[in-house]
């Protein structure tokens, strides 16, 4: 690969002003210059097929011309107003129409913020304080979300483990942690704590791990039984798995869902969507000042993100869109199986065609600990090789996008084949 000092110089400058030399998201030694369709280029001029796509939001690929046209039409009219705008209303209408749980919507600036407000809504509505969260589930950066997100020590359930400094011990006292996909444990923990729990929050697909058949329905049934609000974190899966999100894909309707990523068309935007009676806590005239949940944000629902989201959703509604996305995903899964079977190393491909990853383990992957206990040495070698061979992605997820071409897939297949051989050499 072409190497110059450009990225090294940027890295040195970054260390002077950015803690740990980065934005906190990704490998700080990598600086992306620009992207187009399913490709990105770093500051050294190296070109990659992109399976990170901004950690998911660029479902249409980079620089989609129809989305750009909508943005360029809006920008001269104004970029943000801190007041209602018609594009925001139109986008809210479309999201509510698409999502099975969608009765009312409130925009925020990010998916993590949406999850934070969803939890607060559940507490306001039920009058309870405890939250049931699944170990390894990612729900943003709030104090509750940072409990047992990525613990390296395996504590006994339901004990929470903070993943960040600066979180008061009092937060842990309000969190109940369970293993994903464990039917019996969920029933037992709710039998004990159910009357105190305001919300069950879950990624319908936890990072890359699919729910076992019937697990999401169990959560729905148990939430109804104990008067608990069921929250689906659809920041990643919303409009990626299906036009109605994972709740449509899996056929289970939550009370609330959190959205982000795709709905902003590449711009910062999130939303809480759900039952009208719960969402009423955003309206003091309905619930009264004592039950009102204050929420505001300078850029929430801004018209640039709204028009980008509207155009993105319009494109996703076109016939054959999700069939095309799943075809790409299945093709990459198949080429991965072919390459890894040839080298004989045990592995699992975990997830759905539109979002998946290779986990190097001979055992079925059903929860966070199964991923944690996999062969990290093989994982790191494999993904380092892929990067050297022109594939840009994280080691935790593969995000296909709709802009992939036959040439992109051919490059991907060649890279996967070669990277697989590195595992045994």
389-423 pLDDT tens trace: 999 999 999 999 999 999 999 999 999 999 999 99
Q: Between β-strands 39-42 and 32-36, what pairing exists: parallel, antiparallel or unpaired?
A: antiparallel
Average pLDDT across the chain, whole number: 96
Please determine, for residue 77, whether its predicted confidence score (pLDDT) is greater than 80.
yes
CATH 3.40.50.620 fits 65-316, yes or no: no
Architecture of domain 6-63+320-422: Alpha-Beta Complex (3.90)
Residues 141, 116: Cα–Cα separation, whole Å: 9
Same CATH fold assignment for domains 6-63+320-422 and 65-316:
no
Q: In what order do the strands lie in the sheet with 256-259?
A: 104-108, 270-274, 256-259, 229-233, 197-202, 130-134, 175-178
Q: What is the mean pLDDT of residues 252-271?
A: 97
pTM of the model: 0.96
Write the pLDDT tens digit of every residue in 204-234. Answer: 999 999 999 999 999 999 999 999 999 999 9
For residue 142, what pLDDT is reported? 94
> CB–CB of 255/219 below 8 Å?
no
Q: Which residues does the annotation mark as catalytic?
A: 138, 233, 261
Q: At 367, is the secondary structure helix, strand, or coil? A: coil
Write the pLDDT tens digit of every residue in 304-321. Answer: 999 999 999 999 999 999
- Residue partners of 289: CB distance under 8 A and separation at least 6: none
Q: Which value, in Å, is the radius of gyration of the alpha carbons in the chain?
A: 22
1 — pLDDT class (breaks 50, 70, 90): very low
Please determine, for residue 425, whether its predicted confidence score (pLDDT) is greater than 90.
no
4 — pLDDT class (breaks 50, 70, 90): low
Structural domain boundaries in the chain: 6-63+320-422, 65-316
For residue 366, what pLDDT is reported? 97
Residue 346: alpha-carbon gap to chain centroid: 27
336 — pLDDT class (breaks 50, 70, 90): very high
Please determine, for residue 2, whether its predicted confidence score (pLDDT) is greater than 60.
no
Please determine, for residue 195, whether its predicted confidence score (pLDDT) is greater than 60.
yes
Write the pLDDT tens digit of every residue in 109-165. Answer: 999 999 999 999 999 999 999 999 999 999 999 999 999 999 888 889 999 999 999
Please determine, for residue 236, whether its predicted confidence score (pLDDT) is greater than 50.
yes
């Amino acid at each position: 690969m072409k190497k110059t000092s450009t990225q090294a110089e940027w890295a040195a400058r970054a260390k002077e002003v950015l803690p740990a030399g980065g934005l906190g998201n990704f490998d700080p030694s990598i600086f992306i210059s620009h992207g187009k369709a399913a490709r990105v280029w770093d500051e050294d001029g190296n070109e990659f097929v992109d399976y990170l796509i901004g950690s998911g939001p660029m479902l249409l690929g980079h620089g989609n011309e129809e989305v750009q046209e909508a943005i360029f039409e809006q920008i001269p009219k104004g970029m943000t107003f801190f007041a209602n705008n018609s594009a925001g209303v139109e986008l809210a209408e479309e999201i509510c129409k698409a999502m099975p749980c969608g009765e009312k919507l409130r925009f925020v600036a990010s998916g993590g913020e949406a999850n934070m407000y969803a939890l607060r809504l559940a507490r306001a509505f039920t009058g309870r304080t405890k939250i049931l969260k699944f170990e390894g589930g990612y729900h943003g950066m709030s104090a509750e979300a940072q409990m047992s997100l990525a613990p390296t020590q395996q504590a006994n359930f339901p004990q929470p483990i903070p993943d960040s400094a600066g979180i008061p011990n009092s937060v842990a006292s309000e969190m109940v942690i369970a293993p994903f996909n464990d039917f019996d444990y969920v029933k037992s923990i709710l039998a004990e704590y159910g009357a105190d729990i305001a919300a069950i929050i879950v990624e319908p697909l936890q990072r890359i791990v699919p729910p076992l058949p019937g697990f999401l329905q169990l959560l729905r049934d148990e939430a109804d039984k104990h008067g608990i609000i069921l929250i689906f974190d659809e920041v990643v899966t919303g409009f990626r798995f299906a036009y109605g999100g994972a709740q449509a894909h899996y056929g289970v309707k939550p009370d609330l869902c959190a959205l982000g990523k795709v709905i902003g068309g590449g711009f910062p935007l999130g939303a809480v969507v759900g039952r009208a009676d719960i969402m009423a806590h955003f309206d003091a005239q309905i619930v009264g000042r004592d039950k009102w949940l204050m929420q505001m944000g300078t850029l929430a629902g801004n018209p640039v993100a709204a028009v980008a989201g509207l155009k993105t959703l319009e494109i996703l509604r076109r016939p054959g869109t999700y069939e095309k996305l799943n075809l790409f995903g299945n093709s990459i899964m198949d080429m991965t199986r072919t390459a890894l079977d040839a080298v004989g190393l045990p592995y699992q491909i975990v997830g759905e065609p539109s979002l998946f990853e290779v986990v190097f383990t001979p055992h079925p992957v059903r929860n966070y600990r199964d991923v944690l206990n996999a062969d990290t040495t093989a994982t790191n070698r494999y993904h380092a090789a892929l990067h050297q061979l022109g594939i840009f992605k994280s080691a935790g997820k593969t995000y296909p996008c709709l802009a992939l071409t036959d040439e992109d897939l051919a490059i991907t297949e060649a890279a996967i084949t070669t990277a697989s051989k590195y595992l045994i050499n």
